[in-house]
Structure formats: structure tokens, C-alpha cells
């Protein structure tokens, strides 16, 4: 069974224009999927529908056997614990330490009071350190996040997502603010997370070459519609043209 099953999904904001139209797809456990497409294609909107940060206007969205649109408030909270998020601008609390930011990933499992008081178990703290070590960030655990480079901040973001024990990680332009070396480090980590831990990754990307290199599967969006869904190998210069239209010229590296 697919981990994520999307059927005829459409989205419009405030009765405005259709931003996503009749999206259909199944995404499986452990798959590494990139979503590419021009700016405004609806990539970010699609990710926000999956963890129901926004509601879809039409269609169906099933995740891990659950109808996402039918969830009440407490079940929605549970749903979100299964989905980690990685953002372009990291979304860390800069005045807090690395380890505190990682532990924030456990908030979804806590009562409001535990969360406010920052009460975490010994196991959670040990796990936070283990994840930081795994990501090469162990020595920075007590630094304030505003002392880190962009690449280091993103590794904290990954640790914060992993400590949720997610089944799916959604990454919205995870390397758009990073230099090529840091981008490689981040993409290598995401790839090994999906392969070694069998966590599904859906990654919105601007860089077609990166999508091609790392993904099991690439989905191309244009004007809110899926115009390509295939393996990296199947992503030819013709398909890139179809996805990007007139912007494609700059993106094809052959």
C-alpha cells in the first residue's frame, strides 16, 4: 500500500485561481521523490496540503492509511508527528542551543505544559545527541544556533525532523540558501536517511541536476498540474522543456 495516496487533489486559495488541479499520485515507503517546476507552479502549496497546514479544496489525501481531511484536532496532531518538515530558512530558534532546537521536534508528543516547561526525558536527550553525532554536529550541541553556518543549521533542522520518528520528511527548498558544498552534504544526508532508515522524502527543488542525481523519482509541476512523473533516467531534456516551458533553456545541462 502507498504511504501517500493523492486522488484528484485541487487547491484554490480564497476562491481565487486554481493553484493545484487534479493531482493524482501514490508515493511509497522509502521513496526519494523530488518535485520540480517553475516558481509559482504549486510545489510549496502541495507540501503544505500533505501535512494539512492548509486544507485542500477538492479530492482526497490519504497518508499511512488515514484520510487526512477527516482528522479532528487531536488526530491531526498525531498525523503531524509522523511528518518531519525541513525548510529553506531552517526555522530554528536562533537564541536557543542546537540540542534545544533538536528537542523541539518532540513537541508534538508532549502536553502543552511539558512543552512550555521544556520537559524532555533522558531517552529523548540521548537520542538528540545520537542524531547530532550522526549528522556530524555532535561537537556543536551546546552552541547557540545563530553561531552556525547555513549548512550546519540545516543539519540541525534534519535532526529536529528525525527525532519525531517520522515516516515522511517534507523538504521545501532545503538547499536554496546553501553553497554547493553544503548542498551536497545536506542532499547526501537526506538520501541516506531515506535509504538506511526507510523514511520517505519528498523534496521541492529548484535545481534540476540535483533532482536528477538524487531522486528515485521526479515529479514535474507546471501551472498546478503534474506534467511529468517518472524516474531520473526518464527525465530527458524534452521533459524538462515540458515542465519549465520557456525557462527550460538555462536548466538543461548536456
Residues near ligand ADP (CB under 6 A) are 13, 19, 37, 39-45
State the chain's maximal CA–CA distance in angstroms: 56
Pairing type for strands 4-12 and 18-27 reads: antiparallel
Q: How far is the CB of 105 from ligand ADP (least distance, A)?
A: 24
Q: How far is the CB of 207 from ligand ADP (least distance, A)?
A: 14
- The nearer residue to ligand ADP, 39 or 111, going by C-beta atoms, is 39
Q: How far is the CB of 243 from ligand ADP (least distance, A)?
A: 11
- The nearer residue to ligand ADP, 37 or 151, going by C-beta atoms, is 37
- The nearer residue to ligand ADP, 6 or 128, going by C-beta atoms, is 6
- The nearer residue to ligand ADP, 36 or 128, going by C-beta atoms, is 36
Tell me which residue of 35, 4, 1 sits closest to 166, measured CA to CA: 4
Q: How far is the CB of 75 from ligand ADP (least distance, A)?
A: 24
Q: How far is the CB of 49 from ligand ADP (least distance, A)?
A: 10
Q: How far is the CB of 73 from ligand ADP (least distance, A)?
A: 21
- The nearer residue to ligand ADP, 15 or 233, going by C-beta atoms, is 15
- The nearer residue to ligand ADP, 158 or 243, going by C-beta atoms, is 243
- The nearer residue to ligand ADP, 44 or 57, going by C-beta atoms, is 44
3-state SS of the chain is: CCCEEEEEEEEECCCCCEEEEEEEEEECCCCEEEEECCCCCCHHHHHHHHCCCCCCCEEEEEECCEEHHHCCHHHHHHHHHCEEEEECCCCCCCCCEHHHHHHHHHHHHCCHHHHHHCCCCHHHHHHHHHHHHHCCCHHHCCCEHHHCCHHHHHHHHHHHHHCCCCCEEEEECCCCCCCHHHHHHHHHHHHHHHHHCCCEEEEECCCHHHHHHHCCEEEEEECCEEEEEECCCCCCHHHHHHHHHHHHHHHCCC
Q: How far is the CB of 21 from ligand ADP (least distance, A)?
A: 12
Distance CA 51, CA 54 (A): 8
Amino acid at each position: 500500500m502507498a504511504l501517500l495516496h493523492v486522488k484528484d487533489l485541487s487547491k484554490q486559495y480564497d476562491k481565487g485561481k486554481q493553484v493545484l488541479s487534479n493531482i493524482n499520485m501514490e508515493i511509497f515507503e522509502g521513496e526519494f521523490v523530488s518535485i520540480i517546476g517553475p516558481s509559482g507552479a504549486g510545489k510549496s502549496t502541495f507540501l503544505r496540503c500533505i501535512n494539512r497546514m492548509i486544507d485542500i479544496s477538492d479530492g482526497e489525501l490519504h497518508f499511512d492509511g488515514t484520510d487526512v481531511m477527516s482528522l479532528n484536532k487531536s488526530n491531526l496532531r498525531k498525523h503531524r508527528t509522523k511528518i518531519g518538515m525541513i525548510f529553506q530558512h531552517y526555522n530554528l530558534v536562533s537564541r536557543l542551543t542546537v540540542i534545544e532546537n533538536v528537542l523541539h521536534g518532540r513537541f508534538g508528543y508532549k502536553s502543552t505544559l511539558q512543552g512550555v516547561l521544556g520537559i524532555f526525558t533522558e531517552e529523548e536527550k540521548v537520542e538528540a545527541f545520537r542524531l547530532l553525532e550522526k549528522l556530524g554536529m555532535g561537537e556543536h550541541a551546546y552552541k547557540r544556533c545563530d553561531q552556525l553556518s547555513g549548512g550546519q543549521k540545516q543539519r540541525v533542522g534534519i535532526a529536529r525532523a528525525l527525532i519525531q520518528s517520522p515516516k515522511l520528511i517534507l523538504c521545501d527548498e532545503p538547499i536554496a540558501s546553501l553553497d554547493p558544498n553544503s548542498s551536497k552534504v545536506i542532499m547526501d544526508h537526506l538520501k541516506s536517511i531515506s535509504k538506511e532508515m526507510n523514511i520517505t522524502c519528498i523534496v521541492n527543488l529548484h535545481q534540476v541536476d540535483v533532482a536528477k542525481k538524487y531522486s528515485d523519482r521526479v515529479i514535474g509541476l507546471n501551472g498546478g498540474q503534474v506534467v511529468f512523473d517518472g524516474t531520473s533516467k526518464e527525465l530527458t531534456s524534452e521533459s524538462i522543456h515540458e515542465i519549465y516551458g520557456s525557462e527550460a533553456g538555462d536548466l538543461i545541462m548536456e
